[in-house]
Amino acid sequence: MKPLPPPSGFRGTWHTGDRARSSASRVSGPFRATPRVYAVPSDLDDLGRIVRMARSEGVPLVPRGAGTGMPGGNLGAGIVLSLAESFQQLSPVDLEARSVRAGAGVSGARVDEVARAHGLTLPPLPSSARWCSVGGMVANNAAGARSFGYGAIHRWVRGVEGVDASGEPFALGGGRPKPPSFEALDDRLPSRAPASSWPDVRKNSSGYALDRYQASGDPTQLFIGSEGTLGIMTEAELLLHPIAEQRGLRLISVRSAREASELAVEAAGTGAVACEFLGHRFLEIARLADDAALAPLVRDAWALFLLEFEGTADEVAEGLEATAPGRPGRTTDDTARTIHTTEPDEIERLWSLRRRASPLIAREAERGRISTQFIEDCVVPPARLGEYLVGLDEILASAGFDAVIFGHAGDGNVHVNPLVDVESSDWRVRVRTVLDETTTLVAGLGGTMAGEHGDGRLRAPLLERIWGAEWFHRFRQVKDHFDPRGVLNPGVIIPLPGQDPLDGLHPRKRSWPT
Ligand SMILES: Cc1cc2nc3c(=O)[nH]c(=O)nc-3n(C[C@H](O)[C@H](O)[C@H](O)COP(=O)(O)OP(=O)(O)OC[C@H]3O[C@@H](n4cnc5c(N)ncnc54)[C@H](O)[C@@H]3O)c2cc1C
């Protein structure tokens, strides 16, 4: 392939050497692809130059933030465009509007740090906040444990700016009128509602957010979660929330799938801001029975639920009381199956147990069992959580995979880490079977394959099976409308002809960041 020179007038860095391209071929998720160029634009003008050149040469562009995304949307064979270096601007916090303007490359943790100095916070911070960029969070509609109470990032973005598929700057939201290109999209989309309804899930980062866009009329909402396929974001205006006065945590041991579903549904009426669960294999592998406070809960547990409350002291007490044993309608009447605390240090300690599994899972790699994320983010209606977990156990067992499962129970969003024995000859076949059967399971339960990580390249070929032909057709219309030449992240969300979900799957012993 002939070398691709940078566009004329380009002032950033343009890496075409083998070493730089090889290093750019790796990201946090289990996928890998070597780009033709790894480019670092120095500003908005540079970005416009690259997009115009890519468009005229027909070279795909892959926007990248910190590269912590899981399903391969941050990888590709064309030009990987890094936004993480140059777009580091951060405005002072606007205390009246409770907002801040952050460049696409700023990390989520940095935004939160600046906000905290003013008694404010960005509530839906993902657990990858230390690394992941504002651009990546917006592009994936990222979320965190507290999104149960505060929603995903889409609720916290007032407006975005960037460059479109023609290389022209755009600005959406923030009180601006709807741009003509969105008026034209409205005319293009069928006015008749599709026969199948939008999935009844509490959170979603699959497909294009036509639900939020059509309900709000705000173009920003369609851009959020578009995974670099409709435009490249350079800055976002983010909304902030006051830090709560007090916090309280309740842990409940759950003994069956039915109890898990009941508690996931019930949690929504308790005022909890987080409702997480750790599956039985997680409890074993993280050796939570060795912790004196947890031992009585973990013994015989099918899962452990963590519910967090925050607000004034009265509000926290009310939440803890609402979930105490013996309340009418409560699933847990056994006092030995729950503990609670309002001690800040104990709350931190209990949350930190959730992180205990990661190094232990990583250690499994030494035995040739690599934690491989390919069904890592499915979401189902919370009332179907138990059915999903039971179905999943069966699918994984028949494929012979051990798996560590945890997630955002209240949102029905389950993170699955199958430990794939990559030295076996048929691991790829078994991965494919598990992906296929899980897709059927999720579609049957009315869920989607991505609650917060996006579709990427992995899930794009499965989109029509989950969403049905009519929604899929509309998603394709959105893509064709804003990027008719398919320059921006082709193969992400909307699949290319013949695209294989497992293309580029290379589980690695050491993934980054761990
Ligand atoms: C240890 C670990 C923990 C995680 N925990 C969570 C969690 O709690 N919650 C959660 O939601 N996710 C989590 N993730 C996944 C990941 O961190 C998020 O998806 C994050 O939002 C990705 O941000 P990034 O900057 O790394 O984006 P990248 O990985 O670089 O890119 C992700 C996608 O966004 C697009 N993109 C990136 N920047 C731009 C831009 N400026 N303009 C347009 N498109 C862009 C890319 O093209 C790609 O499709 C975790 C990942 C890891 C490794």
| Pocket lining for ligand 1, CB < 6 angstroms | 28, 62-70, 73-74, 83, 104, 126-128, 132-133, 135-137, 139-140, 142-144, 227-228, 232-233, 452-454, 489, 492
Check whether 97 has a pLDDT greater than 80.
yes
* Domain at 99-242, CATH from 3.30.465.10, 3.40.718.10, 3.60.15.10, 3.40.50.300: 3.30.465.10
What ligand 1 atom has the least distance to the C-alpha of 84? Answer: 25
Q: What is the pLDDT of residues 66-94, one digit of tens each?
A: 999 999 999 999 999 999 999 999 999 99
Check whether 360 has a pLDDT greater than 90.
no
Q: Considering only CA atoms, which of 265, 243, 262, 248 is closest in space to residue 318?
A: 248
* Amino acid of residue 206: S
Check whether 336 has a pLDDT greater than 80.
no
Q: In this predicted model, which residue has the larger pLDDT, 240 or 197?
A: 240
Nearest alpha carbon, ligand 1 atom 14? 128
- Annotated domain spans of the chain: 13-82, 99-242, 245-454
| Ranges assigned E (strand) in 88-225 | 99-103, 120-121, 157-164, 169-173
Mean pLDDT for 316-333 is 75
Q: Say how many Å lie between the CA of residue 66 and the centre of ligand 1.
A: 7
Q: What is the pLDDT of residues 3-36, one digit of tens each?
A: 899 999 999 999 999 999 999 999 999 999 999 9
| Ranges assigned E (strand) in 227-372 | 231-239, 241-242, 246-254, 274-279, 303-311, 338-341, 369-371
What gap in Å lies between CA 450 and CA 468, rounded to an integer?
Answer: 16
Write the Ramachandran bin of 315: left for phi over 0, alpha for psi from -120 to 50, otherwise beta. alpha
Q: Say how many Å lie between the CA of residue 133 and the centre of ligand 1.
A: 7
**What CA–CA distances, in Å, run from 438 to 5, 8, 193, 288, 375?**
44, 48, 28, 28, 7
- Tokens for 221? 């909402």
Question: Please, what sign has the CA dihedral across residues 154, 160, 163, 165?
Answer: positive
Name the phi and psi angles at 180, rounded to 5: -55, -30
Identify the CATH homologous superfamily for domain 245-454.
Answer: FAD-linked oxidases, C-terminal domain (3.40.462.10)
Q: Say how many Å lie between the CA of residue 78 and the centre of ligand 1.
A: 19
Mean pLDDT for 463-485 is 97
Nearest alpha carbon, ligand 1 atom 39? 135
Q: What is the pLDDT of residues 437-465, one digit of tens each?
A: 999 999 999 999 999 999 999 999 999 99
The CATH code for residues 13-82 is 3.30.43.10
Q: How confident is the model at residue 300 (pLDDT cuts 50, 70, 90)?
A: confident
> What is the pLDDT, as a whole number, of residue 232?
98
Q: Do domains 13-82 and 245-454 have the same CATH topology?
A: no
> What is the pLDDT, as a whole number, of residue 326?
66
Q: Say how many Å lie between the CA of residue 136 and the centre of ligand 1.
A: 4
> What is the pLDDT, as a whole number, of residue 511?
55
Check whether 436 has a pLDDT greater than 60.
yes
Check whether 512 has a pLDDT greater than 70.
no
> What is the pLDDT, as a whole number, of residue 327?
61
What ligand 1 atom has the least distance to the C-alpha of 452? Answer: 11
Check whether 213 has a pLDDT greater than 80.
yes
> What is the pLDDT, as a whole number, of residue 191?
86
Q: Which helix (H) or strand (E) holds 80?
A: strand 79-82
Q: Say how many Å lie between the CA of residue 126 and the centre of ligand 1.
A: 9
> What is the pLDDT, as a whole number, of residue 364?
80
Mean pLDDT for 131-147 is 98
Q: How confident is the model at residue 514 (pLDDT cuts 50, 70, 90)?
A: very low
- DSSP letter for 214, please: H
Check whether 1 has a pLDDT greater than 90.
no
Q: What is the pLDDT of residues 245-254, one digit of tens each?
A: 999 999 999 9
Burial of 351 (0-12, 13-18, 19+ CB in 10 A): middle
Mean pLDDT for 470-478 is 97
Check whether 513 has a pLDDT greater than 50.
no
- DSSP letter for 184, please: H
Q: What is the pLDDT of residues 254-279, one digit of tens each?
A: 999 999 999 999 999 999 999 999 99
Nearest alpha carbon, ligand 1 atom 37? 136
